[in-house]
Amino acid sequence: MSIGECGLCGRWSSGTSFPSGNKRPDGTTPMDNFVCFRCQEEGAAPAEVDRSVNEYWKRRKGLRHVA
């Protein structure tokens, strides 16, 4: 956990640095994408909703032959 400027919202807050995907000549990847915890939570919420909806429809499809 560190404090820095969020790359998404621009607010200075505590958060996590993520790899940028850019490779250095020596083959390492810098951890230079900083995202605050608030933006991380906002990004995780839609993924959780998608998983829940997909799980609902998987179960719903399994119940069709019962009706």
Q: Which helix (H) or strand (E) holds 50?
A: helix 37-63
Q: Is 36 exposed, middle or buried (0-12, 13-18, 19+ CB in 10 A)?
A: buried
Q: Which helix (H) or strand (E) holds 5?
A: strand 2-5
**Total domains in the fold of the chain:** 1
Q: Residue 49: give the domain boundaries.
A: 2-66
Q: What is the pTM of this model?
A: 0.57
The predicted-structure confidence for 42-60, as pLDDT tens digits, reads as follows 888 888 888 888 888 888 8
Angle 43-47-50 from CA coordinates, rounded to 5°: 145
Mean pLDDT of the chain: 82
